Each structure stands twice: as structure tokens, then as C-alpha cells.
Amino acid sequence: MQPGPPTTLGLKLAGFLAAVRRDRERIGAESDRTLGLQFGGAVGTLASLGTVGDSVSAELARILDLAEPALPWHSHRDNLVAIVQLLGILTGTLAKFGKDVALLMQGEVGEASEGVGEARGGSSTMPHKRNPVASAALIAIHAKMPGLVTTMLNAMPQEHERGLGLWQAEWDTVPEAFCLGSASVAYAIEIAEGLTTNSARMQTNIDAALGLPLAEAVSTALAPKIGRVAAHRLLRNAVDQATKDNARLSDVLKHMPEVNMHLSDAEIDVLLDPHNYLGSAQRFIARVVGDEDALD
């Protein structure tokens, strides 16, 4: 599996920032519903309060600073399910963060690393190990959320005005979801604040790929001249040759007459420079961080 074309750490992080913002927006919108009063007596009529049920309800909501819904909702659990589901999405976003960091921390990659405090992440028997402790936690947390969401969804069809059993299944599921959700945020902050990056290693890894990830750049440049299919086939052959000979793609291309006809050696070098094949990355970043200066 060869890596794809180059991207930047900045674009990757902007993607996480945008996703976390969407998650926060959803949770904020749902919270208004979640923080609503449920007060209805045995079957939702507030009958034991006679004619003043709805007044008591309004006053109770005021005192507790909770929204007052149109009517009691004891056996309609959608508000609770919705908030747990959104915590599930949040941990999913952050699990991807942990996974990407852990992949970058692999010994053979080494492009980024969780910050490592004195007290953590070491192995009891292996002196050389630095483990991605927080990334692992993000992955572990998310692996549990589908189960909690499943329990909440399972518990929805509660019988009549007071379900039998399903209601009880929520009791420790909701707090567990909040605990896991907030732990996930805490671990992600820890990673974000301590993240170290190794740009020399990024360069080394790109170099080790022999220019193959940039094949698309050359193919794209040739397509207007010899047609898209021919360009693709040509680069495919060049890539095969480079792989077979463990040669740099630039060297292979510079010796192919069909390429020379259309591209000079200097043009090939420009095309195969990763810095020249980043497309709209900076503009996309600027849109997310809202820094207009970053444009051009």
C-alpha cells in the first residue's frame, strides 16, 4: 500500500477542528431539549395535583432552571437517546484523532507523537517503549459507545405510560455515556496540547517513497497533452519500473522518451516536489481557522 499524494498536518488538524465544531454545535442544540423538566405523576396527568398540575409544573421548571415541555414525556425517551448518540459521535471524531496520532507514532513512521510525561506511557518490562496512552484511551472509549447507544435505542419502545424494564436499562447507561464522553474530551485535549511533530521524519518518509505518491501530479500534467488514459498508463508503467528497480520516479521518468517529448527534466522535478502538489490545502485551512491572512 503506497501512501496517497501529500497533504499537510495543518489540513489534517483543520479537518478535526471542523468536525469537533460540528459536534459541539449539535450537542449545544440538543442540550436545550435534554435539560427539560419531566414531571407528570404516574401516567402523565398530574392527577394527584388536581387542577393545579400544570401551574406546579411551570413553577418547578422555573426553580430548577429547566425548560418546560408541552407535556410530560416519561415514556418518550428521544431527548435522552439523542444526547447519548451525540456523545457517541463526539467520541467517534476523537477516536479518529487518537487513531491517526497512533498511526503517526508507529516506529516505522514517527512523524508525530503524544507528549510523554514522566509518569506515564512506559512499559513495565520493555525499557524502550513509549506508548500512545491517550490515543489508546480515545479508541477504547469509542469502542464502547455503540453499545451504550444500542441500549438507549433498545429502550425506546416503552409500554404505554410506564415501560416495563426498558426504562431501567437507561439508568447507568446515560451517566456512563457522559463519563466516557468527557473522558474522551480530556484525553483529546491532552494530546492536542502535548503533540510533538517531526518534520524531518516527514521529509525522510516522503523521500523513501521514491516520488511515487506524486505520480498523480505528472499524470495530471500529461493528460491534456496525451489523453487521460494514456497518461495514466504511462505513469503506471513508470511506477512499476521504479518499484521494480527501487529507483526514484523522477529518474525513471527522465529516461522515458514519451515523457521527455512533453516535459523537461526541470518540469519533472517541479511536478514531483511535494510542496507544489498541495492544491487548495492552505485555502481550506484558512476557511476553518478564519484567518484571512493565511490566504496567499
Rule CB under 8 A: which of 1-60 touch a second copy? Answer: 1-7, 11-12, 14-16, 18-19, 22-23, 26, 29-30, 33, 41-51, 53-54, 57
Distance separating the N- and C-terminal Cα atoms of the chain? 34
Residue of 6, 181, 171, 155 whose CA lies nearest to 84: 181
Give 181: exposed, middle or buried? Use CB within 10 Å, 0-12, 13-18, 19+.
buried
Q: Does residue number 277 form part of the binding site for a second copy (CB under 8 A)? A: yes
Tell me which stretch binds a second copy (CB under 8 A): 59-67, 136-144, 190-198, 261-269.
Answer: 136-144
44: left (phi over 0), alpha (psi -120 to 50) or beta: left
120 is catalytic: no
Return the residue of 174, 185, 188, 235 that touches a second copy, per CB under 8 A. 235
Return the residue of 34, 183, 198, 232 that touches a second copy, per CB under 8 A. 232
Q: Nearest distance from residue 113's CB to a second copy, in Å?
A: 8
Give the separation between CA 114 and CA 121, rounded to whole angstroms: 10
Q: Does residue number 273 form part of the binding site for a second copy (CB under 8 A)? A: no
Question: Which of the residues 161 through 180 are near a second copy (CB under 8 A)?
Answer: 161-162, 164-169, 173
Q: DSSP letters along 86-132, please?
A: HHHHHHHHHHHHHHHHHHHHSTTT-SEE----SSSS--SS-TT----
Side chain identity at residue 177, one-letter code: A
Give the separation between CA 105 and CA 110, rounded to whole angstroms: 5
From 162, 228, 236, 283, the catalytic residue: 162
Q: Does residue number 293 form part of the binding site for a second copy (CB under 8 A)? A: no
From 55, 62, 123, 182, the catalytic residue: 123
135 is catalytic: no
The grid coordinates of residue 177 equal: 455515556
Q: Does residue number 85 form part of the binding site for a second copy (CB under 8 A)? A: yes
Q: Does residue number 224 form part of the binding site for a second copy (CB under 8 A)? A: no
Catalytic residue list: 123, 162
